[in-house]
Amino acid sequence: MAISSTVIRFIQNELNERGHAAGDVDGRLGADSEGALRRALRPRRAELPDDWEAWPRTKLLTGYVQLRCRDEGVNPGTIDGLWGSQTDYAVNVIRERLQNDLVAPNFRDNEELDPSRPHPWPHQRQSEVEAFFGAVGKHQTMLELPYRHRLAWDRNVELTRFSCHEKVHDSLSRILTRVLDHYGPERIVELRLDLFGGCLNVRKKKGGSTYSMHAWGVAVDYDPGNNRFEWDWRQAGFARPEYDAWWAAWEDEGWTSLGRARNYDWMHIQAPHL
Ligand SMILES: [Zn+2]
């Protein structure tokens, strides 16, 4: 599996942003890139195999990519400087996360989505989100929850409501009411559908200049402990069949699960589409 010039440009840009002077962002691994990679890797030699200084440029680049993926919580496999499918997948996940320009491989074909599914929401492009929802952190309202939630990171804290954008309020209320009707209170706790991981959070994407969908209060995270950012459908709890009705409730309202659409970040559900 070859390393694409897109990935090389992504890393050259990263190296430049971190002050390692990689020179032109041209997608070619030249002497400037090599020097930058060596400068970036040297302080991290303890995380690398002993022979790393003898590596050719492609291995240096791969080793750096693997470390950066691990920094971002996306498992790149062994840090060995060898480009394989796991490293390739991981770097695409972090590119999507850091740059918001390209996406990880499709998990689910669009054809699988019900064509009659309503799409009342804008595209997740910042300009469209802003045009539809306004400025980040504004137009918030309290959603009274049909069933009690608990904070995922401190389950002793119970929530009866949370803040969301006023334009998604009614939709969220309908979704959670349907979830309650379908599963009932006990099954909701068993399936951890009450573990709230956050909605409104005005922040930019890590390392990027664009805002997270959470900045408008139009994305919700559930059960992050069982649906970690880097996990795919084989690990993520929400990928299991007992959650089919959960997803139907969201998708019938036009919401998008990153897990179901892109096979990562299964905790995350957003109104704007991809
Ligand atoms: Zn999220």
Which pLDDT tens digit goes with each residue over 8-60?
999 999 899 888 999 999 999 999 999 999 999 998 999 999 999 999 999 99
User: How confident is the model over 186-201, as a mean pLDDT?
Assistant: 95
pLDDT for position 19: 87
Residues 255, 142 share a domain: yes
Does 121 lie in the same domain as 250? yes
CA of 197 to the centre of ligand 1 (A): 8
Reported as a single tens digit per residue, the pLDDT across 113-132 is 454 556 789 999 999 999 99
Cα(201) to centroid of ligand 1, in Å?
9
Q: Is residue 105 part of a domain?
A: no
State residue 74's pLDDT score. 79
Residue 102 binned pLDDT confidence (cut-offs 50, 70, 90)? very low
Ligand 1 centre distance from Cα of residue 215 (Å)? 10
Which of 211-220, 226-235, 265-274 shows the lowest mean pLDDT across its residues? 226-235
Instruction: State the total domains in the chain.
Output: 2
Residue 18 CA to ligand 1 center (angstroms) comes to 26
CA of residue 198 to ligand 1 center, whole Å: 7
Q: Are residues 177 and 155 in the same domain?
A: yes
Ligand 1 centroid from CA 218, angstroms: 10
Q: What is the 179 CA–ligand 1 centroid distance (Å)? A: 19
Q: Which domain holds residue 181?
A: 110-270
pLDDT grade for 250, boundaries at 50, 70 and 90: very high
Ligand 1 centroid from CA 186, angstroms: 25
In the structure, ligand 1 is a single-atom ion and the residues with CB under 5 Å from it are 219, 221, 268
Calculate how far, in angstroms, residue 96's C-alpha sits from the geometric centre of ligand 1: 14
**Domain co-membership, 16 together with 132:** no
Tell me the CA–centroid distance for residue 116 and ligand 1, in Å. 26
- What order of strands is seen across the sheet that includes strand 219-222? 154-165, 140-151, 195-198, 219-222, 268-270, 256-257
Cα(62) to centroid(ligand 1), Å: 28
Domain shared by 123 and 237, yes or no: yes
Instruction: Specify if 91 maps to a domain.
Output: yes
Rounded Cα distance, 137 and 165, in Å? 8
Which of 48, 69, 99 is a domain's end point? 99
For 16, left (φ over 0), alpha (ψ -120 to 50), or beta? alpha
Domain termination residue (choose one: 99, 123, 157): 99
For ligand 1, the distance from its centroid to the CA atom of residue 260, given in whole angstroms, is 14
Asked whether residue 87 falls in the same domain as residue 195, the answer is: no
CA of 77 from ligand 1 middle (Å) equals 24
State in Å: Cα 52 to ligand 1 middle.
36
79 and 126 co-located in one domain: no
Domain edge (last residue) among 99, 125, 160: 99
Cα(25) to ligand 1 centroid in Å equals 30
Residue 182 lies in a domain: yes
Do 150 and 234 belong to one domain? yes
State whether 128 and 30 are in the same domain.
Answer: no
Ligand 1 centre from 199 Cα, in Å? 7
Same domain, yes or no: 159 and 59? no
62 plus 137 within the same structural domain: no
pLDDT at position 116 = 54
